[in-house]
Amino acid sequence: MSFKLTPPFKKNPTPIVNMPLGDDIMGRADKRGTILINQDMTQQDDIIDTINHEEVHIKQLASGELDYDENNVYFKGKTYPRSTFNEANKKLPWEAPAYKAG
């Protein structure tokens, strides 16, 4: 009789790096597939929510649904100039699912 062992950890986990991000930024998903977390966060619930939120963006980037550069955010084939919106707006089409997750 044979059986398959399942590891107790996620395969290919998303790297998470603590670093200075500024007072108003809790986290960021970068194009390399890394989640950057503000090193000044101390509340465990905030850290977990931020990781869950940024993981949505990692998946959006990986699928090609989301992309960005210094001037624009590209989501589902549409260009959003950064100069026309507040990036903290929870109603942005790429932010709404991320805020649901964390």
Q: Tell me how far apart the terminal alpha carbons of the chain are, to the nearest angstrom.
A: 42
The whole-model pTM stands at 0.85
Which strand (E) or helix (H) includes residue 72? Answer: strand 72-75
Is the confidence at residue 102, as pLDDT, over 90? Answer: no
Q: Which residue in 64, 66, 84 sits closest to 75, CA to CA?
A: 66
So what's the pLDDT on residue 59?
95
On the question of pLDDT at 7 being above 90, the answer is no
Which pLDDT belongs to residue 39? 96
- Go through the chain and tell me how many residues it has: 102
- pLDDT at residue 88 is higher than 90: no
Reported as a single tens digit per residue, the pLDDT across 8-54 is 666 668 999 999 998 889 999 999 999 999 999 999 999 999 999 99
